[in-house]
Amino acid sequence: MSNDIRSLEPRSIWKNFADLNEVPRPSKKEERVIQFMKSFGEKLELETTVDEIGNVIIKKPATPGMENREKVVMQAHLDMVHQKNADTAFDFDSEGIRMVVEGDWVKAEGTTLGADNGLGVAAIMAYLESDTLVHPAIEALFTIDEETGMTGAKELKPGSLTGKILLNLDTEEDNELTIGCAGGIDVTMTGDYVQEDVPSEHTAYNVIVKGFKGGHSGMDIHLGRGNANKIMNRILSHLNNVGLRIAGINGGGLRNAIPRESFATVTVPNDAISTFESKIDGLSKVILTEYELTDPEATILIEETKTPEKVMSISEAKVLLNAVYACPNGIYRLTPKIENLVQTSNNLARVLVEDGKYTVMCLTRSSVDSEKEDLANTIKAAFSPTGAEVKFSGSYPGWAPRPTSEIVAMMSDLYKELFNEEAHVNACHAGLECGILGRFYPDMEMISFGPNILGAHSPEERTQISSVQKFWGFLNKTMERIPEVK
């Protein structure tokens, strides 16, 4: 792995990316990667600080002849989404990512790759350690916990930065210049339920939904991929009339990843087993046909299992299944301002039913704060009949586009000059830290760009080698053309 990756061009990026991917760095467990980045800056004898929340800031003076240019904030986040296939043996807390080269692509073996946002981090590291690249004064900002709350950006102290231009290296299509993004809010439902003994003459089964593509719950929400939580709920709801009892459900994971898998343990009256199996078979064929284009590897199956100790009461199971059925998922509204851009959406990210308690987790996104709040309240209303406690948390604002800013004009012209085509200047439905940082630095000009990354937040994550080369050349020319201080 290491030799293949480190020999790719530009070596300065791939070397740093390989080093970074040897460090476990899940969101909210960034202690090791914070120390890694702190040591990196200190070894270069650059001014390096770690703030109270864990953000790392490394400052580097301008190269000769660039002292009169505007100072640039180069920004990326240190954490990565940890997702793996169910049949992949891998410990994110102790192992480095196992990377492989496949043609023009780099991917990982059954896990997320960490290109989001590791390639941005690696590109900034390459600038900090270079003695040949031309650049103005740099403030490198490496934030923590972007993926599960944007905590680093939220807790950054005002006055920590003095740069006038911010380059956020955290988008995933190399022909795009992103100048706006959606905000988000976490919606969490929790409650208790009555546990009952498993009825006599029942047989236990595992219901398994897996192999769906998943993906980024913002950037990929418009692709119509199956949500394993919704599909599992559909199956269980349609089997209620065979006397099915629910012992547990474990579906999805992180809020910002479209659920790929869901597992349920149920019991079925012995005299209804043939009906149960027939209904499962028929419904599975219908569902898999619906998703044959978006999720061709998906499977739905059942297997007999050990009888559980307890099951959920019939009445409470029905109410909870109805609430999950009613919970919005996917696109809620497209923006009327930009063609085919999602304005508001919800991802039903997690459903957990076990030991007398249930938890349902959503991530609601919108570039319009009032609509984000309205959709969150819609979800709350769907769960009202369950008596669940509903909490809103982790709200962060969107980033309002400023298409006439100087950095947008300069980079748009530069892109056309270099690649003989127009860049796609747009906003995205993902959450970027620019919206939060903009609250503290309202006069800072900000833009986001990056190389091609497909399947972010899923084990299908991969990045294109030729696109990283294109991104690197574009970044180099951008740094050379940063405008003079006015």
Q: Of 70, 116, 145, 146, which one is the catalytic site residue?
A: 146
Query: Which residue carries 């898999």 as its tokens?
Result: 288
Q: What is the dihedral of CA 158, 161, 164, 170, to 10 degrees?
A: -100
Active-site residue 146, yes or no?
yes
Q: 183 near 397, Cβ under 8 Å?
A: yes
Residue 259: is the preceding peptide bond cis (ω within 30°)?
no
Active-site residue 295, yes or no?
no
CA distances (Å), origin 308, targets 195, 200, 242, 314:
11, 12, 18, 16
Q: What is the dihedral of CA 134, 39, 8, 146, to 10 degrees?
A: -90
Query: Which residue carries 């997702």 as its tokens?
Result: 83
Q: 87 near 110, Cβ under 8 Å?
A: yes
User: What is the rounded distance in angstroms from the CA atom of residue 49 to the CA atom of residue 160?
Assistant: 10
User: What is the rounded distance in angstroms from the CA atom of residue 363 to the CA atom of residue 217?
Assistant: 8
Q: Of 79, 145, 186, 316, which one is the catalytic site residue?
A: 79
Q: Which of 458, 446, 474, 472 is nearest to 181 (CA)?
A: 446
User: What is the rounded distance in angstroms from the CA atom of residue 401 to the CA atom of residue 263?
Assistant: 41
Q: Hey, which residues are catalytic here?
A: 79, 146
